[in-house]
């Protein structure tokens, strides 16, 4: 920025610099709100309204790059709406951002949330037929495009926060490329980002224009540690206190890796600040900020502190770009982030604390310079930044299981889309694509030639990962859909069910003591029993509290369960498979049927007990020795009670491979799966495109062939 004149660089073959008119006054009179008026009027993006609208009018796709906090998420939609574009979809990779930005825009426009401005995230739709500006997660827009591939209800689709490179936004970019060709006259697509490589995206969209909105960033002094601290939590604590005691006013933003560490640091900071001598320094408010924060706590982030008080915000990387916290002058950067990575060769997810990229480090530092010159304390040496940090973050598509995405793309059934040749900004490895195909084949979602099967088509309609979707469909045949819906809902709400993951599991094991006997059957059955106990209390809130369950989480489960049930009714085109029951044996029979359905759904996630060992060996493509996660109900059973075969919800490396959410299954249900594995031909599955050595045979156990039961046949309830 020079002399108060902002420059917009318009890239369409050549760069052009232009001075922009002052539209602030006009804007305020149109929108007619007062609350956030002053703050809003200073947002850089508002100076470029005319240029942005003009460029959008002339081009089907426009990339808008602007510093975090420049107003992309909150203002672009309003701007387009003022110029008669309606209806406008704005995608966000994170649920919390979709909700918070929608709330903010509704407030700015002085309308009720859910009316003209609304949001939709998985399992929660707060929109109405009046909604003109809709914030939604990228996953929800993908789902909408299943029902309506042309998304013709929208005249503008804004893919916001594209620099996060979430798997779903990457897929949407591929789909938008196709959609603008089909709907060239009546669809505008905007891709917005804080740091994205604009040229690369522009090239992807046939050299579309790139508008760069320079932010108002003040200089940030970057201070490095001499060495990596042995505990970055302690080091953050010490640095924050040091700033609080010795530095002038201004909020402190600390980047931690996850909710657990945030909670620990918040409580330590509270103790230390309380212990400071009264009057020795200003007051402090300590606030956590992460994705699973309840909405009432999220809003505190956007409130200014009272005079003579500074806020110390302890956040995950959500505060890097997704949510802009105003007033920050000091940033403490640990240099780490928690990242979920999938390894297609082992089928294992690991939640690793990894080093951030240079782009992330610079984003974090930038948070200190939004209101005045600031300081960034990097808890690592400059050499680590220079030599060890990657330049950019690895896109999610290159570190996720692609089974759900491949199923989605196949279910679109678009003649011009071939998943193996799909136009990705950065393509995934062929290994992960093949891994996805193999997984889908084994759970009957695609046939041996890689074509979507009717079961796969139904699965895609459920907003669940493929294994759970498959379980529901199977459970409907077995008369235990009610139980399966509960388990699916409980697993979907896992993060909000109980406070803190570790506490969760400990509490779950010890506090709910009056559950019926399901011992030896595993975690899914216990989840089911917990919900059923609650159901019997007529959804008593006190019962949740007494048993250490979060009321909000349990109410969410009930709601999710209802929604899934409605979708299942649509898919089943009729009443669902629910058996009437009364006697205890009948409950046991339902548990058995449910476990059988889980075995079909989780055919990719099977493990066999290792003899004379406390571990299991996974069955399938890549055998490995794994153990039951300590949080499992089974981990407290004595070894002699461990079942011979189990399915698991996920494999995580922490750092040893553990199975989380384990459920006992029977050998005779496993045999058909092993037999199916033997028929797998990756070459055929990939439509003859990729040829790899198929190693699956090597890991197949020799199971006795007697007593084989055909998968898909329900147990006779009377037997």
Residues that bind ligand CDP (CB under 6 A): 39, 43, 66, 68-75, 100-101, 104, 302, 324, 326
User: Within 10 Å of residue 336's Cβ, how many Cβ atoms?
Assistant: 20
Tell the smallest beta-carbon distance from residue 244 to ligand CDP (Å).
22
* Nearest distance from C-beta of residue 711 to ligand CDP, angstroms: 49
E strands, 272-371, in order: 283-289, 309-315, 328-333, 336-343, 348-355
Q: How far apart are CA 106 and CA 230, in angstroms?
A: 45
Which residue, 75 or 316, is less far from ligand CDP as judged by CB?
75
Sheet strands side by side (includes 61-66): 14-18, 8-12, 210-213, 61-66, 188-193, 156-159, 88-92, 133-137, 117-121, 124-126
C-beta of 69 vs 118, nearer to ligand CDP: 69
Decide: 30 and 82 in contact? Cβ < 8 Å.
yes
370/508 with CB nearer ligand CDP: 370
Residue 44 C-beta: closest distance to ligand CDP, Å: 8
Closer residue to ligand CDP in complex, CB, 217/652: 217
Residue 491: name the closest of 556, 539, 535 by CA: 556
Q: Note the Cα 287 to chain centre separation in Å.
A: 22
Q: Which is nearer to ligand CDP, 255 or 408 (CB)?
A: 255
Residue 55 Cβ, how far from ligand CDP at the closest point, in Å? 17
Which stretches of 493-583 are DSSP H helices?
494-497, 501-511, 523-536, 541-546, 551-572
Q: To 5 degrees, how large is the angle CA 302–CA 380–CA 343?
A: 85
C-beta separation of 245 from 280 below 8 A: yes
Integer angstrom CA distances of residue 616 from 519, 637, 692: 19, 15, 28
Take residue 374 and report the two structure tokens written for it: 């600031």
- 251's enclosing H/E stretch is strand 251-255
Q: Cβ of residue 66: shortest distance to ligand CDP, in angstroms?
A: 5
Residue position matching structure tokens 């490895």:
429
Closest CB to ligand CDP among residues 98, 436: 98
Nearer to ligand CDP, 71 or 450 (CB): 71
d(CA 355, CA 337): 6
At 267, which helix (H) or strand (E)? helix 259-275
Question: Taking the complex as a whole, how short is the minimal distance between the CB of residue 97 and ligand CDP, in angstroms?
Answer: 8
Distance of CA 300 to the CA centre of its chain: 23
Task: Pick between residue 63 and residue 459 the one whose CB is nearest to ligand CDP.
Answer: 63
- Between 94 and 629, name the residue whose CB sits nearer to ligand CDP: 94
Q: Is 22 exposed, middle or buried (0-12, 13-18, 19+ CB in 10 A)?
A: exposed
302 vs 543 by CB, closer to ligand CDP: 302
């Amino acid at each position: 920025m020079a002399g108060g004149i902002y420059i917009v660089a318009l890239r369409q073959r050549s760069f052009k610099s232009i001075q922009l008119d002052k539209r602030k006054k006009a804007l305020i009179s149109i929108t007619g709100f007062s609350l956030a008026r002053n703050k809003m009027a200073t947002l850089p993006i508002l100076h470029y309204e005319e240029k942005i609208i003009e460029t959008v009018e002339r081009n089907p796709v426009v990339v808008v790059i602007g510093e975090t906090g420049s107003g992309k998420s909150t203002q672009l939609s309003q701007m387009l709406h003022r110029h008669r574009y309606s209806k406008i979809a704005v995608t966000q990779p994170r649920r919390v951002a979709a909700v918070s930005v929608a709330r903010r825009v509704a407030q700015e426009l002085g309308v009720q949330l859910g009316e003209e401005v609304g949001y939709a995230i998985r399992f929660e739709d707060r929109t109405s037929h009046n909604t003109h500006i809709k914030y939604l997660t990228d996953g929800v827009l993908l789902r909408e495009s299943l029902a309506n591939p042309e998304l013709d209800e929208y005249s503008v689709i804004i893919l916001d926060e594209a620099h996060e490179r979430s798997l779903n936004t990457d897929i949407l970019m591929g789909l938008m490329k196709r959609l603008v060709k089909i709907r060239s006259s009546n669809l505008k697509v905007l891709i917005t980002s804080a740091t994205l490589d604009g040229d690369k995206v522009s090239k992807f969209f046939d050299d579309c224009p790139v508008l760069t909105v320079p932010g108002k960033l003040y200089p940030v002094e970057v201070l490095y540690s001499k060495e990596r601290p042995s505990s970055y939590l302690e080091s953050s604590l010490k640095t924050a206190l040091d700033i609080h005691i010795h530095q002038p006013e201004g909020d402190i933003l600390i980047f931690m890796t996850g909710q657990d560490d945030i909670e620990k640091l918040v409580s330590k900071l509270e103790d230390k600040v309380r212990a400071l001598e009264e009057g020795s320094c200003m007051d402090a408010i300590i606030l956590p900020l992460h994705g699973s924060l309840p909405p009432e706590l999220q809003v505190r982030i956007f409130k200014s502190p009272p005079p003579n008080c500074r806020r110390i915000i302890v956040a995950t990387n959500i505060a890097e770009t997704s949510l802009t916290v105003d007033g920050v002058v000091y940033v403490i950067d640990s240099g780490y982030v928690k990242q979920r990575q999938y390894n297609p060769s082992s089928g294992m997810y690991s939640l690793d604390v990894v080093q951030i990229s240079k782009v992330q480090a610079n984003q974090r530092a930038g948070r200190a310079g939004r209101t005045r010159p600031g300081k960034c304390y990097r808890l690592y040496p400059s050499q680590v930044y220079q030599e060890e940090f990657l330049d950019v973050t690895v896109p999610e598509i290159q570190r996720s299981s692609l089974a759900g995405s491949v199923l989605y793309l196949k279910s679109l059934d678009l003649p011009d889309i071939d998943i193996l040749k799909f136009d990705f900004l950065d393509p995934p490895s062929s290994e992960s694509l093949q891994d996805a195909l193999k997984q889908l084949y084994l759970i009957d979602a695609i046939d041996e030639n890689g074509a979507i099967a009717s079961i796969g088509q139904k699965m895609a309609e459920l907003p669940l990962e493929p294994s759970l979707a498959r379980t529901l469909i199977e459970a409907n045949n077995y008369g235990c859909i009610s139980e399966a819906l509960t388990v699916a809902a409980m697993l979907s709400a896992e993060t909000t069910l109980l406070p803190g993951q570790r506490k969760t599991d400990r509490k779950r094991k010890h506090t709910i003591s009056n559950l019926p006997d399901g011992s030896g059957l595993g975690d899914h059955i216990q989840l089911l029993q917990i919900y059923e106990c609650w159901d019997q209390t007529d959804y008593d809130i006190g019962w949740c509290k007494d048993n250490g369950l979060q009321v909000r989480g349990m109410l969410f489960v009930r709601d999710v369960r209802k929604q899934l049930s409605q979708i299942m009714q649509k898919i089943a085109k009729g009443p669902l498979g629910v058996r009437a029951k009364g006697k205890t044996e009948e409950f046991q029979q339902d548990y058995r049927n449910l476990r059988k359905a889980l075995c079909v759904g989780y055919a990719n996630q099977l493990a066999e007990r290792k003899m004379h060992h406390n571990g299991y060996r996974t069955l399938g493509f890549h055998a490995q020795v794994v153990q039951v996660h300590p949080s499992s109900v089974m981990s407290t059973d004595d070894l002699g009670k461990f079942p011979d075969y189990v399915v698991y919800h996920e494999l995580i490396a922490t750092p040893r491979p553990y199975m989380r959410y384990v459920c006992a299954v029977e050998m005779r249900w496993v045999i058909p799966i092993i037999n199916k594995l033997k028929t797998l031909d990756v070459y055929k599955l990939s439509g003859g495109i990729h040829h790899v050595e198929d190693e699956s045979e090597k890991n197949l156990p020799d199971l006795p062939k007697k007593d084989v039961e055909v998968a898909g046949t329900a147990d006779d309830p009377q037997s």
